Amino acid sequence: MNVQNAQTWQGVQNEVLRRIHAREWKPGDLIPNEAELAKEFGCARPTVNRALRSLAERGLLERRRKAGTRVAAQPVAKATLNIAVIRHEVEDRGARYGYQLALREVRIAPTHISAALGVGVQERLLHVMALHLSNDMPYALEDRWINTVHVPGALEQDFRSISANEWLLLNVPYTRGEIAFAARPATAENAKHLNCPENSALLAVNRLTWDHDQSVTAVQVLFAPGHQMRTQI
């Protein structure tokens, strides 16, 4: 038996991974149950459970009670992107971070924003636009609407030295959110701020966050042309 030190859950996981990669267990195959694996590896069932659960979370195994555990037929690669505070993102790349407030106004929002935030169409909301810089070059343009009905404190902030991005994260909790990635052509205004040609292809990240049933903020972050978001799978 080619069983290495599989007394730890990582050991079990490695051995299971090896068998999947070596196609000893093929996509779609039912694998032995936890008790059998525990016996084979000479460890306790919870140890096997920990290993298999973790692989299932990564999408490599599919588990169903009673039905057993099978190798995912077509594993769905899960790309986890870290959406950090933009300042940290810049600083982590070893660059100097800069910040410029471009606009701060309180006004009636476009209907797609008030609809997304679930507020009345006549509601006046806080609108903030800001440019994030990396080594003095435009890095990302943040276009944000804040639901001041739920976050009145935002009205007292001028967002000149701290970005809304950072202030909200520090001061306003949220329980859930939605995030969408898309490509968008730069508008004339985007182009002016990001210092790029109009209609450049920009990576756009749209976020909508909620605190229980109250919307908090809707934001679009447009990255300068050529920007990439990377991750391992």
CB-CB contact of 108 with 123 (8 Å): yes
Span 125-144, contacts to a second copy by CB under 8 A: none
CB-CB contact of 223 with 202 (8 Å): yes
Q: CA–CA separation, 230 vs 66, rounded Å?
A: 38
Q: Does 72 bind DNA (CB under 7 A)?
A: no
Q: CA–CA separation, 140 vs 203, rounded Å?
A: 10
User: In this chain, which of 3, 44, 106, 115 binds DNA, going by CB under 7 A?
Assistant: 44
Q: CA–CA separation, 53 vs 69, rounded Å?
A: 10
Q: Does 76 bind a second copy (CB under 8 A)?
A: yes
Site string for a second copy, 1-30 (x = CB under 8 A): ----------------x--xxxx---x---
- Which of residues 66 and 212 has its CB atom nearest to DNA in the complex? 66
80: tokens are 């986890």
Q: Does 96 bind a second copy (CB under 8 A)?
A: no
Q: CA–CA separation, 216 vs 32, rounded Å?
A: 47
CB-CB contact of 85 with 131 (8 Å): no
Span 179-218, contacts to a second copy by CB under 8 A: 179-185, 199-204, 207, 211
User: In this chain, which of 107, 158, 173, 195 binds a second copy, going by CB under 8 A?
Assistant: 173
Neighbours of 174 (CB within 10 A): 17
Task: Provide, rounded to whole angstroms, the least separation between the CB of residue 29 and DNA.
Answer: 12
232: tokens are 């391992």
Q: Does 230 bind DNA (CB under 7 A)?
A: no
Neighbours of 162 (CB within 10 A): 16
Binding-site size for a second copy (CB under 8 A) equals 55
Q: Interface with DNA by CB under 7 A: which range of 34-42, 99-107, 146-154, 197-205?
A: 34-42
User: In this chain, which of 166, 167, 196, 214 binds a second copy, going by CB under 8 A?
Assistant: 166
Query: Exposure string (b/e) for 63-79, b if CB count within 10 Å is 16 or more?
Result: beeeeebbbbeeeeeee
User: In this chain, which of 1, 2, 22, 65 binds DNA, going by CB under 7 A?
Assistant: 65
Q: Does 16 bind DNA (CB under 7 A)?
A: no
Q: Which residues bind DNA (CB under 7 A)?
A: 7-11, 33-35, 42-47, 49-50, 52-53, 56, 63-69
